[in-house]
Amino acid sequence: MFGLSLTTCQLIQGPAVRTWNCVAHFANLLWYKFNHVKHPIMPRQRRRHHSRSRSRSRSHSYDRDREPKRRKIESYESPQHKRSLSSDKTHRSRQYDRGSTLERRYKRSKRRSPASKKRHRHRHEKSLSRRKQSRRSYSTDQSSRAPSVEDDEEGHLIYRSGDILQERYKILGTLGEGTFGKVVKVKDIDMDHCMALKIIKNVEKYREAAKLEINVLEKLGDKDPDSIHLCVRMLDWFDYHGHMCIAFEMLGLSVFDFLKDNNYYPYPLDQVRHIGYQLCYSVKFLHENKLTHTDLKPENILFVDADYDIVYNSKKRRDVKRVKRTDVRLIDFGSATFDHEHHSTIVSTRHYRAPEVILELGWAQPCDVWSIGCILFELYLGITLFQTHDNREHLAMMQRILGEIPLRMARKTKTKYFYRGKLDWDEKSSAGRYVRDNCKPLMRYKQSDDNDHAQLFNLILRMLEYEPSQRITLREALMHPFFDKIPPHQRLGEHQGAGDIRRERSLSLT
């Protein structure tokens, strides 16, 4: 249209369109001037290519604007970026925001959303890591290296032998691992001796449990600074980048690990007696201080020294291990609860759980006594008394071994395990046959009719009373005839010489 001349337009069209044609002619001249004077060498195709390249450059700049955000998100998930993105300025501002004390950091973290807490924690850990590594020197020990501040997917601290924590504790190796975290062997550089360091997972619920355990251990340390009541002694504690760390005295294997390493060959009766005596004495101390352990089990009873002799067993016709010293310590106070504190509905590891806990009738110190009864049975026979993972089956085992559950407890519980005061249990089912085939009345588990064995089972039976109010107390348990044969050098506290008093009392009653 722009290529038509003004004269041609006038011949074809009428006067009414002439004005419009003048405007079109003027626009045609402007178009020609723009393309031939200002850009004489840029054809249309070249301009399109240039336009595409410009749009690409704009998209690149947009990606660059977004890329730092993407890298920042990746840095919260990838350990490789943890020590590389914080500047001194941001570090100073974050340090000011978080505060300088553990209490302030904890209070502030409660006001943040979970996502912001995660970002804030990682930023703080990165900046602290850079400061710690910059000011530490390991020239005195060539085998040492700067410690890692990275966690694995489960929240465990990633470490290697030679790492030094708090400029004091050099990691020598791993002693054990649990749901809470790991226990490592460390050397205290300042004191030049070894100890066990419990490194809690960087997970909120385990951190809170560790704080409660530290509180309990501090109170027990104030009451019993010399650990004469056989509770493990806490030597130090600190927060290492979100990992609560608790240092303990070095101990040996747990009574469970020793049993397992010995192919579950049970302990001799005299060793069962001494371990049980110490356990009753230690837990009685907790009860007298209005504390319930709630997680008593063989894994939480450690030998002071697990060195052993090899002896030949004629019945088994093979060599077995026999621990030389049966001195033990009680550990793991992460679930310990004071009387005035909130009591969780469910406590204790399954196999050592009292019936009042399963029936949700409330619990107190007697639930520890039930656990000790189960432990004594396990040390004596090498097998678990209640080998189950189901509440109803657990109750059926109790009835098979100990007799009917009291009607009062059956009526009082709000659980649905009973019907008209009787356990709702099908003895003809596969589970019912399992219980019938694997469980029998308690007294039939005795390995001998000897008086010592009978006394042990009498004590276990009194510890496994259904009614918590009827269950034997640990003060009474320590006076039980089963412990009469504890030699004088193994007696503890006010119970030294108590055996003679009990023997005189039993003679007078006879």
Higher pLDDT, 457 or 53: 457
Tell which wins on pLDDT, 266 or 493. 266
Q: Which one is catalytic: 151, 163, 295, 332? A: 295
3-state helix, strand, coil in the chain (%, to 5): 50, 15, 35
Question: 315 falls in which pLDDT band (50, 70, 90)?
Answer: confident
Cα dist. 444→127, 264, 268, 371, 457 in Å?
A: 64, 20, 18, 20, 10
pLDDT at 314: 87
Catalytic residue check, 295: yes
Q: What's the rounded mean pLDDT across residues 476-500? A: 83
User: Annotation-wise, does 198 bind a ligand?
Assistant: yes
Exposed, middle or buried: residue 168 (CB in 10 Å: 0-12, 13-18, 19+)? middle
Residue 379 has pLDDT above 80, yes or no: yes
Core vs surface per residue 385-400: b (16+ CB within 10 A) or e: bbebeeebbbbbbbbb
pTM for the model:
0.70
Asked whether the predicted pLDDT for residue 109 surpasses 60, the reply is: no
Cα–chain center distance at 157: 12
Interatomic CA distance for residues 422 and 406, integer angstroms: 9
Helix (H, G, I), strand (E, B) or coil at 83: coil
Of 5, 44, 37, which Cα lies nearest the Cα of 24?
5
pLDDT tens-digit map of 132-170: 444 433 333 434 444 557 888 889 999 999 999 999 999
E strand or H helix that includes residue 46: helix 44-77
320 or 43: whose pLDDT is higher?
320
pLDDT at 149: 79
Residues of the chain above pLDDT 70, percent: 68
pLDDT at 470 over 70: yes
**Res 236: pLDDT:** 96
Asked if pLDDT for residue 43 goes beyond 60, the answer is no
Q: Does position 129 have pLDDT exceeding 80, yes or no?
A: no
* pLDDT score at 263: 95
pLDDT for residue 246: 97
- The single residue listed with the structure tokens 């691992």 is 177
pLDDT for 219 = 96
- Model pLDDT, residue 150: 87
d(CA 469, CA 459) in angstroms, rounded, equals 16
- Mean pLDDT along residues 477-491: 96
Most confident of 118-127, 146-155, 304-313: 304-313
At 188-236, the pLDDT tens digits run 999 999 999 999 999 999 999 999 999 999 999 999 999 999 999 999 9
Angstrom distance (rounded) from CA 327 to CA 302? 8
pLDDT digits (tens, 9 = 90+) for 5-22: 444 444 445 555 566 666
347 close to 296: Cβ distance less than 8 angstroms: no
Q: Give the containing element (helix H, strand E) for 69.
A: helix 44-77
Say how far apart CA 341 and CA 248 lie, in whole Å.
Answer: 25
**Mean pLDDT score, 49-60:** 40
Q: Which residues contact 224 (CB under 8 A, 6 or more apart)?
A: 231, 285
Instruction: Give the pLDDT mean for 352-380.
Output: 98
Tell me the average pLDDT across 298-325: 94
In whole angstroms, give the CA distance from residue 42 to residue 445. Answer: 102
Identify the pLDDT of residue 454: 97
d(CA 210, CA 414): 32
Mean pLDDT of all residues in the chain? 79
| Confidence at 31, pLDDT banded by 50, 70, 90 | low
Helices (H), 136-254: 204-223
Q: Is 341 left (phi over 0), alpha (psi -120 to 50) or beta?
A: beta
Element holding 173 (H helix, E strand): strand 169-177
* Residue 94 pLDDT exceeds 60: no
What confidence tens digit (pLDDT) does each residue in 255-307 have?
Answer: 999 999 999 999 999 999 999 999 999 999 999 999 999 999 999 999 999 99
Q: Is residue 27 predicted with pLDDT exceeding 50? A: yes
pLDDT(388) > 60: yes
Cα torsion angle, 85, 89, 93, 99, sign? positive
Rounded distance, CA 275 to CA 210, Å?
27
Asked if residue 172 has pLDDT above 60, the reply is yes
> pLDDT tier at 23 (50, 70, 90 boundaries)?
low
User: What confidence score (pLDDT) does residue 339 get?
Assistant: 97
